[in-house]
Amino acid sequence: MLAYFASLLIGLALGLLGGGGSILTLPVLVYLFGVSAVEATAYSLFIVGATALASIVPKARAGEIDFKTALWFGLPSIAAVYFTRSVLMPAIPDPIWSAGTFALGKGTALMLLFAVLMVWASISMIKGPQSKKQNSAKPSLSPIAKTALVLAEGLGVGVLTGLVGAGGGFLIVPALVLIMGLEMKVAVGTSLTIIAFKSLIGFTGDLDHLDANWTLLLSVTAIAIVGMVFGSALSKRVASSLLQKAFGWFVLTMGLLILTERIFTLNLIP
């Protein structure tokens, strides 16, 4: 029951904030459903992608998606996440490194990377996106420079998504606001569009070497989509800034707990 309630929170956070919910997916799968860390990174891509996909039509009707920006950001991100899942991940050895009785397992390394990512994401959520006024003194970027930055961040987010299965909304939304100058609601809708396609296409890179538990995948996804519907409805009535900060503190706590737990098991191969 706790695992399925947490699945609801994944969609709720995605609907409210346009990101952050995916940061819960991996720990929910690993610690509550007992999925291995490596398999959970693939499962997370499907769950996050399908949940985000469910939000596209209503947000497009509301005019809250910039499809041109989504295309520029999404294409390099999709290419990077597919390459990471289909080529890079299978090539990573397990254990990654060993010396004597010490061994750093692939699953442990991924969870450590994910915990660091959670801490980084939480700080971004707690601070919130900087306002345009705070950046008004900086020289405005040329269209070419903006495009180059968006392409570069798309590649970076794609690699991170491929490694740990997180959608990366906490990186995408600030980039769309600060670099492309999108309004927050449009940035959230555009972020969800990018997350949907790069995550689902990235998941296809695992199909050749993954024996997926489709019952678990589809049930968690269905519950997360219900959470997404509620989150999208609440986002029109509730100021997301306070919720984002509260959620940020929760993610920070979870990240530190996972980091501590994995550090104490560094000598084990999960």
Q: What is the pLDDT of residues 103-116, one digit of tens each?
A: 778 888 888 887 88
Alpha-carbon span 264 to 183, nearest angstrom: 43
User: Global pTM?
Assistant: 0.75
Q: What is the pLDDT of residue 229?
A: 83
pLDDT (tens digit, 9 = 90+) per residue, 216-238? 999 999 999 998 888 777 777 77
* pLDDT (mean) for 168-197: 80
* Residue bearing tokens 């490694």: 163
Place of tokens 């991924």: 110
- Which of 232, 239, 185, 236 shows the shortest CA–CA distance to 54? 232
